[in-house]
């Protein structure tokens, strides 16, 4: 058989191919959920997301699956192009259940490679945060935010597909043969691995955000430490300045020949002693 593909906003064109006349109005109201099993057919729905491109938009995909028919309803042109790219090369000579299985199989093809590349990029970001310059860390922070949003979309996408494949593997209405149900179960287990990888990446990205905040706090503390040490060094000098700045005329040092050089020497000695003390305490 040849699967049929229709835009979601052209549901009326699919009316002659649907076994249930009331299904058309049901679909037009947008009430379909991820999986709904009827007596003679199954209705599958999920938000398609192309994880291999820079596109972040999702599009609704509906699948009408019976023993004799497989019909796709696509919300966007990109989703329709994806469906056609998957099912067109399959050609005729397949049953509806085989086409449904091959569709989901090819839909998930290459996803693990994409997740592996994602993980490598996250690893490089970790090195930048821990050892890179502040400018690079700021760029990584915006990247972490984008990754967090993308991982949320991936998680939602895979959870929908997992629910669909799990329901197809059970197939309470017995629309699928036992070999196809077994294959659907294998795909469902693969999706579980994908979901596990996505959740692990979510944890890593969250930890990287925390590591960035910690690294930023450490740098701020180092800067405050420097300011504190500078203040501590010049505080005694400020005391001397205030002392000699008082409006007194009978200070002995003023009439002493070496009073001014002595004040300079005392100031230098104070600075040197404080720096030596800070160095000894490893504050510098």
Rounded CA-CA distance 187/72 in Å is 20
Is pLDDT at 57 greater than 70 in this prediction?
yes
Query: What's the predicted TM-score (pTM) here?
Result: 0.73
Contact 50, 78 (CB under 8 A): yes
Q: Is the pLDDT of residue 247 over 80?
A: no
Q: What gap in Å lies between CA 9 and CA 76, rounded to an integer?
A: 9
Sort strands 70-74 and 35-37 into parallel, antiparallel or unpaired: unpaired
Nearest CA-CA partner of 194 in 218, 162, 238: 162
Quick: pLDDT tens for 178-228.
899 999 999 999 999 999 999 999 998 888 877 777 766 766 777 777 777
Question: Rounded to whole angstroms, how far apart are CA atoms 159 and 151?
Answer: 12
């Amino acid at each position: 058989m040849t699967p049929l593909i229709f835009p979601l906003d052209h549901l009326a064109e699919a009316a002659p191919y649907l076994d249930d006349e009331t299904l058309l109005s049901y679909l037009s109201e947008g009430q379909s959920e991820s999986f709904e099993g009827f007596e003679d057919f199954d209705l599958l729905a999920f938000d398609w997301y192309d994880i291999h491109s820079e596109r972040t938009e999702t599009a609704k995909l509906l699948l009408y699956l019976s023993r004799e028919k497989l019909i796709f309803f696509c919300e966007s042109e990109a989703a329709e192009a994806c469906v056609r790219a998957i099912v067109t090369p399959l050609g005729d000579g397949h049953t509806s259940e085989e086409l449904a299985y091959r569709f989901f199989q090819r839909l998930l093809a290459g996803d693990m490679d994409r997740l592996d590349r994602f993980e490598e990029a996250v690893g490089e970001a970790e090195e930048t945060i821990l050892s890179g310059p502040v400018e690079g860390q700021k760029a990584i922070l915006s990247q972490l935010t984008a990754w967090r949003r993308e991982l949320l979309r991936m998680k939602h996408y895979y959870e929908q597909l997992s629910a669909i494949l799990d329901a197809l593997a059970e197939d309470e209405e017995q629309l699928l043969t036992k070999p196809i149900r077994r294959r659907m179960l294998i795909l469902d287990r693969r999706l579980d691995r994908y979901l596990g990888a996505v959740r692990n990446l979510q944890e890593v990205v969250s930890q990287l955000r925390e590591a960035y905040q910690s690294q930023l706090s450490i740098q701020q503390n180092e800067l405050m430490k420097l300011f504190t040490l500078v203040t501590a060094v010049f505080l005694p000098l400020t005391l001397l300045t205030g002392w000699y700045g008082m409006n007194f005329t009978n200070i002995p040092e003023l009439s002493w020949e070496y009073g001014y050089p002595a004040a300079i020497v005392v100031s230098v000695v104070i600075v040197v002693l404080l720096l030596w003390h800070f160095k000894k305490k490893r504050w510098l």
